[in-house]
Amino acid sequence: MARMSAPSRRAAIVDAALDVMLRKGIAATTVRDVAERMGSSSGLIHHYFASMDDLLAAAFDTAAGQDLEATREAMAAQPAAVERLRVFFATYARAEQDWAFQLWLDAWSEAARRPALQDTSRRLNVAWQQLLATCIRDGVAAGGFHCADPDGAAWRILSLLDGLALQAIAHRVPIDRQQVISWSTAHAEGELGLPPGRLGQTWPAKEPSPAASGSPRESRRITR
C-alpha cells in the first residue's frame, strides 16, 4: 500500500470494510476479506481496530451517518416545518435505496451479537427519530401541526416507513417506493392534524436511485 497518514489509513480500512459488507453482508464479512480488499495483511486491520465488531460498526456509521447528515442539512435549508417534513420523506434513504435498507437490515440482525454495532445502529436510529420529532415540535410551536406527543408520533411515522420499506425491498411484495412514501405521508398527516395531501408534494423532484442500477458501491455517493 502507498504510505498514508494514520487517519487516512484508518479511513481506507473502513471504506474497504464497507465495500465487503455491501457485497457479502455484515455477517459474512471477515478481517481476511477486508485485508484482501486492501491488499494488506490482517495484522494491519487489527492494529487500527480492536475487534471486527468495532470495524463493522465504524463502517456502518460512515455509510448510515452520511445519509442522516444529508437529510439534516437539506431539512435545515427549509424555513417552514411542513417543508422540512416533506424533505424528510423525500430524502429518507432507508425507504429509497435498496443498498441502504439492506445495510440497516444487516445491522439490526447482527446487533444482538455485536455490542459496538448495536450501540451504533441504536444511536443512529434515535438520531433519525429525534430529527423527525424536532421538526414536529417546531410545527406545533408554529401552529401548523397539532400533536400532543411529538416523540411518539415520530416513532410511529418512522416505524411505518421502515415497515413498508421492509415489505417493498426485503420481501419484494408488490409495494413500490411511491406507495411507501404516499402511505407514510398520509399517516403523518393524520398524526399531525394536517389536511389530506398536504405532504403529498415531494421535495425535490427525485432522480432514480443509483441503487436501481445494481451498483451499491456507486450508490454510496450521497446526492439529493
Q: List, for residues 171-220, the tens digit of each pLDDT value.
A: 777 777 788 888 999 999 999 999 999 997 544 444 333 333 333 444 44
Q: Is residue 23 part of a domain?
A: no
Asked if residue 92 has pLDDT above 90, the reply is no
Where does the pLDDT of residue 2 fall: very low under 50, low under 70, confident under 90, or very high at 90 and above? low
What's the confidence (pLDDT) of residue 97?
65
Distance CA 179, CA 191 (A): 18
Asked if residue 154 has pLDDT above 90, the reply is yes
What's the confidence (pLDDT) of residue 95?
55
- Output the domain CATH number for residue 200: 1.10.357.10
Domain that holds residue 169: 63-220
Between 166 and 127, the more confident residue is 127
As a whole-number percent, the residues of the chain with pLDDT over 90 amount to 60
**Count of domains observed in the chain:** 1
Cβ within 8 Å of residue 111, ≥6 positions away: 117, 118, 121, 122
Written as nine digits, the cell of 40 is 494488506
Q: HSE-up of 166 (CA within 13 Å, CB side)?
A: 10
Q: Is residue 123 part of a domain?
A: yes
Q: Is residue 76 part of a domain?
A: yes
Distance CA 145, CA 135 (A): 10
Q: Is residue 21 part of a domain?
A: no
Distance CA 117, CA 119 (A): 5
Q: Is residue 6 part of a domain?
A: no
Asked if residue 221 has pLDDT above 70, the reply is no
What's the confidence (pLDDT) of residue 93?
62
Q: Is residue 160 part of a domain?
A: yes
Q: Is residue 97 part of a domain?
A: yes
| Nearest-10 crossing angle of helices 150-165, 177-192 | 160
